[in-house]
Structure formats: structure tokens, C-alpha cells
């Protein structure tokens, strides 16, 4: 069961020495857009450059992990725009998935996962949505 924590609004400020810092406020609901009322009234001499509204959900079942998180499954997707790709990196893929990738023979688990990713409209940071699965790779990379 995942329990939502209180959402927060984190603001980044830069001063005249170019030092930056962040300050976080909590909000009853997550704000997916700009919170101009607070931003405009913040009594500061520094410049406000960025704001991030976020919410964390905690798994309350105290899970214990298996596998090695440094093993990664990397999936590459094409988007409808040339030279724009979406990369997905999953830590500690299970053995079924590893076998699928090593044998280049995808069973229902990996196919289902890929379809879920595409149906979720995952995109790259520029907003280009993944449309076609391109390739899958296994890698070892530190956290």
C-alpha cells in the first residue's frame, strides 16, 4: 500500500554572488502549475529561477528487495520525431526478463511491460512521446 505524503513546492533562488539555494513549502494539494501568488509575494532580494511541485508516495509494506540494483535493463524507444528517443532504465530486471533480452526472444512479461510504457505515454524530457519500441539492452551501472 502506498501512502501519499504531503505535497511540497520547492523554489530555487539565486543571489548576487550566484549562490543558489532552495526552500520548500508544503501544500494541501499538488500544484501542477505555477504558484504565482506565493512566488510574487516572497519577500526576498534573490531571484527566483525555478519551482518544482512534487508529491511522494511511500510503500508502507516495508518491502525487502532482491537482486542487484546495479544490473540494469535499458529500453530504447523511438518517437514520432526524428532524432528524439526515449530511454528507460530499470534496476535489477528479473531472470525472466534477462533471459528474454539475452535470447532476443521476448515473452509476454517483457512485451507487456513495453506495451504498458508506450500506453502510459512516457516521453523524453522535451515532451516527445515514445511510439515504437526499438531495442533492449542489459548493462551494469552503479546507482
Q: Site for another protein (CB under 8 A): which residue of 1, 26, 82, 83? A: 26
Subset of 94-113 contacting another protein (CB under 8 A): 94-95, 97, 109-110, 112-113
Q: At what angle do helices 108-119 and 95-102 cross, to 10 degrees?
A: 90
Out of 81, 102, 107, 120, which residue is the one contacting another protein (CB under 8 A)?
120
**Is residue 118 a contact residue for another protein (CB under 8 A)?**
no
Q: How far apart are CA 113 and CA 115, in angstroms?
A: 5
Establish if 83 lies at the interface with another protein (CB under 8 A).
Answer: no
132 close to 75: Cβ distance less than 8 angstroms: no
- Kindly state whether residue 129 participates in binding another protein, applying the rule CB under 8 A: yes
Burial bucket for residue 7 (CB in 10 Å: 0-12, 13-18, 19+)? middle
14 binds another protein per the rule CB under 8 A: yes
Amino acid at each position: 500500500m502506498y501512502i501519499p505524503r504531503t505535497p511540497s513546492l520547492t523554489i530555487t533562488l539565486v543571489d548576487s554572488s550566484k549562490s543558489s539555494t532552495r526552500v520548500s513549502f508544503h501544500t494541501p494539494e499538488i500544484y501542477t502549475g505555477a504558484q504565482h501568488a506565493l512566488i510574487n509575494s516572497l519577500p526576498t532580494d534573490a531571484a527566483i529561477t525555478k519551482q518544482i511541485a512534487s508529491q511522494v508516495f511511500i510503500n508502507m509494506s516495508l518491502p525487502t528487495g532482491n537482486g542487484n540494483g546495479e544490473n540494469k535493463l535499458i529500453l530504447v524507444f523511438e518517437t514520432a520525431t526524428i532524432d528524439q528517443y526515449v530511454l528507460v532504465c530499470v534496476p535489477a530486471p528479473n531472470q525472466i526478463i534477462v533471459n528474454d533480452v539475452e535470447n532476443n526472444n521476448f515473452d509476454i512479461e517483457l512485451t507487456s511491460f513495453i506495451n504498458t510504457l508506450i500506453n502510459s505515454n512516457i516521453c523524453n524530457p522535451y515532451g516527445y512521446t515514445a511510439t515504437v519500441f526499438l531495442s533492449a539492452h542489459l548493462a551494469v551501472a552503479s546507482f
